[in-house]
Amino acid sequence: MAVAAAHAGAVGHHDHIHPEPEGFVAKYIFSLDAKVIGVQYMIAGLLFFIISGLLAEVVRIQLLTPGGAILKNDAYNGVYSLHASGMVWMVVIPMMTGGFGNYVMPLMIGARDVAFPWLNLTAFWMFPVAGVILFSSFLIGAPDAGWTEYPPISVQGPPGTTMWCIAIFLIGISSTLTGINFMVTIFKMRAPGMTFTRMPLFVWAQLATAMLNMIATTALAGALLALFLERVFDVPFYDPARGGSPLLWQHMFWFYSHPAVYIMILPAFGIISEVFPTFARKPIFGYKMIAFSSIAIALLGFMVWAHHMFTSGMAPWLQLPFMILTMVIAVPTGIKIFSWLATLWGGKIDFQPAMLFALGFLVVFTFGGITGIFLSAVPVDLHEHGTYFVVAHIHYVLFGGSIFGAFAGVYYWWPKMTGRMLDRKLGVWHFWTTFLSFNVTFLPMHWLGLLGMPRRVAQYRPEFQFWNDVCSIASFVLAASTLILFYNLATSLIRGKRAPANPWHARTLEWTVSSPPPYYNFKTIPAVLKNPYNFGEPLPYIGLTLAEEEEDRLPKPGPAVPAHS
Amino acid sequence: MAVSALNTSHEAVAARYQNVDGAYAEQRDMRLMGFVLFLISDVVLFSAFIFAYLYLRNSVPNWPPINKDGVQLPRFDVAFAAINSCVLFGSGATMHFAMENWKHLNKAAFNMWMLATIVLGMTFLGGQAYEYHSVQVTWSGSTMGATFFTLTGMHGFHVLVGVIYLIVLYIQANRGVYTGSKYFGLTAGTLYWHFVDVIWVALFYLFYLM
Amino acid sequence: MAATLERGVALILALIVGGTTSFQLYKDWSSTGLDNQVTKLLLGLMAFGCVLVVLAAVGVLGGG
């Protein structure tokens, strides 16, 4: 068969196994191995998650009382600005793309590494440097205009705003390079026989994300460069007195930042698309729909940026087209949600922690998506822009979406990455405390916003205090619940049960190698015959060199839940 | 498989290019795709600033505008920039000749055309320096100056990087790093140089002709 | 006078460079491969740039 022949005679750069790197530095610090780089991204991302999360807790402490006891207004502004900037650029984007993408994607396509390992290494090291620059801005006066840094406040803002520009510019370069790297990897390094429609959905998600990363980020670089020049060299882009326009920043910033939210959520969609079939023991429903909707979301994501600007004073005729396009994005997203539901329907659900977080994601992200539709309607947005309704929406889609998806990914792939199992009971506790405290934290923010509480305020009207206290106390529980996860991770590393190659009996290629995989991923690159989701059939790969102990633990052909077409 | 090194016809060029080992061909394809994607992202960077220029230009009633000292700014003078543009476009043509000669194994001609490209590139930069000296706008006096110096400055920076890159390529080529079939660095350099040229087409139109 | 001389020089140079670039494009029209396709596109745009310079030199574009 042509595919087998292609495999048997497989030549090419990526079929050659390089000698193993030697020495601690080459193996763990400046490693060219995408898996090691992926872990490094996740460690750095976790550190920045803790810092940014603590900043959020400072916000919630401040908002316990209407008078806002603990911080001066300027300091408070810096706290929420860096909370959000850190979470967006130093946690979610790097972990979803550089972290999960680097580790899992090459394994899933049957490659030994990414296309440009040196570029990967360079792009990684920009990340912790950028993070340090960002959070060091506290020392000289943190940026104080939110993560969106609108001029004129950002032009006149504290010195830390310039550091913010530099930090985000640096992480932007890193993202762009990673996007290019992943695109070439996915286009050129798939195993023989793996056509695009036989690719796992996580890879489709990373492809769409890489496209966004590559194109959108340089637009942000332009906006940041202009802000930097205006602050440091007094070059007028945004200064109305010399012909500039604050709206220019908003257009340039949001042209990147709206695709950025899709960069943050698409990998999570990809993780969910892997977790659901595995733990429902059923093929994913609507594989092609989910795959193409990822690309559709990426493309449409470029056309909706001005829905962040309905109240900005931009030309009124722009409102209607952007409103309609924003509502249209709900269609491919909705297709995914219904496909996931249909995947669960009639399945034999295994309530592992990864699955719990995936189910929680489904509930919470859908909710956040719906409030997004609310906000897309111009008349509603005119009232709710800049209020806590938006804060609620953001956190439902970003925490409930991206972070829940990331948690699901951690529980799913931790055995593969570390060779150790996580404790299931702790995982269940982590899920329920997170899910419940998350909802108690962020649900009241919807009506706080509707009642008129603005966002980014250090003090508020006394009638809002009760719900703010509810949010704050619940957020302390939410923060504490993360400790359950950290404890689980730590004890798993020290004394966790050894993980087999395929603890979840999943079917994508990363589960055919040992846990953790050897540095070269695959002894022989397999050939691929079908997409990986047909539970109940034999694995669709030829030429695998399986981990010996896994021979008899693979899914056997036999009765299983019938596949939907 | 053995192609006579003295056969410099188009067929021989194509045959040499195709007839490399599979591993190299794959790597070359990946690097080419990666480089083209990088150029696309660079186009987006320039597009962002071009958008800024058009947006700012459209948001004032008159262009050229009045600067912060109340002086009515004049239009940029076309003639000198037109000559400088021909210098840059000419360097694109010489680069193309250099590549053609390389592929046909004419080392001496390659060297000559590469040097011509480098000299023309540096001449363009010199011309830009003269232009910066003679224009009446200032970087911080108006959005006209802001956009002009930022965009042409970014472009000039790209040209400078390109000139350095070409010098490195010239040295590498003469040290035997590239062969008649394996010369990806030269391909990348050519694409980058043409890209820098084409960006200038846009900037020349936007600032001098529009 | 100097301006007219400058315009004249620009016109001649643009015709030479544009002509050369267009001719090269014509010669390589049927080449294949991503690098050649990108080169053809960029050569075409450069030739277009020379057209702009010609139009500028004769005063059709550029506000006179």
pLDDT digits (tens, 9 = 90+) for B112-147: 999 999 999 999 999 999 999 999 899 999 999 999
Residue A2 has pLDDT above 50, yes or no: no
Mutate to test the interface with B, among A184, A214, A252, A312 (most CBs of B within 10 A): A184
pLDDT in tens, A76-121: 999 999 999 999 999 999 999 999 999 999 999 999 999 999 999 9
Better-scored residue on pLDDT, A557 or A275: A275
pLDDT at A5: 37
pLDDT at A7: 39
C25: closest CA of chain B, how far (Å): 10
pLDDT at A560: 53
Helical (H) or strand (E) element with A528: strand A527-528
Alpha carbons A269 and A96: distance in angstroms, whole number? 11
Q: Considering only residues 2 to 61 of chain C, which have any Cβ-Cβ distance to chain B shorter than 8 Å?
A: 3, 6-7, 9-10, 13-14, 16-18, 20-21, 24, 33-35, 38-39, 42-43, 45-46, 48-50, 52-53, 55-57, 61
pLDDT in tens, C2-50: 788 888 999 999 999 999 999 999 988 988 889 899 999 999 999 999 9
Measure CB to CB from residue A243 to each of B48, B51, B143 and give the nearest one: B143
pLDDT at A285: 94
Name the residue range of residue C32's domain. 16-57
Tokens coding A58: 């400072």
Structural domain contains residue C9 = no
pLDDT at C60: 87
pLDDT at A224: 97
Closest-CA residue of B relative to A119 is: B34
With H, G, I as helix, E, B as strand and everything else as coil, classify residue A266: helix
B41 touches chain A (CB under 8 A): yes
pLDDT in tens, A158-197: 999 999 999 999 999 999 999 999 999 999 999 999 999 9
Structural domain contains residue C10 = no
* pTM greater than 0.90 (yes/no): yes
Residue A546 has pLDDT above 80, yes or no: no
CA distances from A63 to A261, A454, A468, B26 (A): 26, 12, 6, 58
Residue A11 has pLDDT above 50, yes or no: no
State yes or no: ipTM above 0.90. Answer: yes
Structural domain contains residue C29 = yes
Q: Which fold, B16-209?
A: Four Helix Bundle (Hemerythrin (Met), subunit A) (1.20.120)
The residues, any chain, with a CB within 8 Å of residue A518's CB and separated by 6 or more, are none
pLDDT at B188: 96
pLDDT in tens, A505-531: 999 999 999 989 999 999 889 999 999
Could C35 and B32 be called an inter-chain contact, meaning their C-beta atoms sit closer than 8 Å?
yes
pLDDT at B67: 87
Could A188 and B33 be called an inter-chain contact, meaning their C-beta atoms sit closer than 8 Å?
yes
pLDDT at C23: 93
Band of the pLDDT at A385, cuts 50, 70, 90? very high
Alpha carbons A259 and A213: distance in angstroms, whole number? 8
Alpha carbons A293 and C43: distance in angstroms, whole number? 36
Band of the pLDDT at A124, cuts 50, 70, 90? very high
Band of the pLDDT at C64, cuts 50, 70, 90? very low
Alpha carbons A465 and B133: distance in angstroms, whole number? 61
pLDDT at A9: 36
pLDDT at C62: 76
DSSP per residue, A268-295: HHHHHHHHHHHHHTSPPTTHHHHHHHHH
Q: Which residues of A290-325 are buried (b: 16+ CB within 10 A; e: fewer)?
A: bbbbbbbbbbbbbbbbbbbbbeeeeeeeebeebbeb
Mean pLDDT of A202-217: 96
Mean pLDDT of A360-381: 96
Band of the pLDDT at A552, cuts 50, 70, 90? very low
Spacing of C-alpha A202 from chain mean position: 12
Residue B4 has pLDDT above 80, yes or no: no
pLDDT at B69: 87
Domains of chain A, with CATH numbers? 2-553 (1.20.210.10)
Mutate to test the interface with B, among A11, A13, A214 (most CBs of B within 10 A): A13
pLDDT at A562: 57
pLDDT in tens, A390-443: 999 999 999 999 999 999 999 999 999 999 999 999 999 999 999 999 999 999
Tokens coding B146: 């802001």
Q: How many domains does chain C have?
A: 1
Residue A536 has pLDDT above 90, yes or no: no
Mean pLDDT of B18-26: 88
Structural domain contains residue C2 = no
Band of the pLDDT at A556, cuts 50, 70, 90? low
Structural domain contains residue C46 = yes
Residues on chain B touching A237 (C-beta within 8 angstroms): 52, 56, 143, 146-147
Measure CB to CB from residue C56 to each of B17, B82, B197 and give the nearest one: B82
Mean pLDDT of A230-239: 95
Measure CB to CB from residue C42 to each of B75, B198, B204 and give the nearest one: B198
Band of the pLDDT at A13, cuts 50, 70, 90? very low
Query: Domain segments of chain B: what residues?
Result: 16-209
Mutate to test the interface with B, among A113, A217, A235, A247 (most CBs of B within 10 A): A235
Residue A218 has pLDDT above 50, yes or no: yes
B38 touches chain A (CB under 8 A): yes
Strand duo A527-528 + A541-542: pairing = antiparallel
Band of the pLDDT at B20, cuts 50, 70, 90? confident
pLDDT at B5: 52
A274: closest CA of chain B, how far (Å): 28
Cα-only R_g, chain A: 24
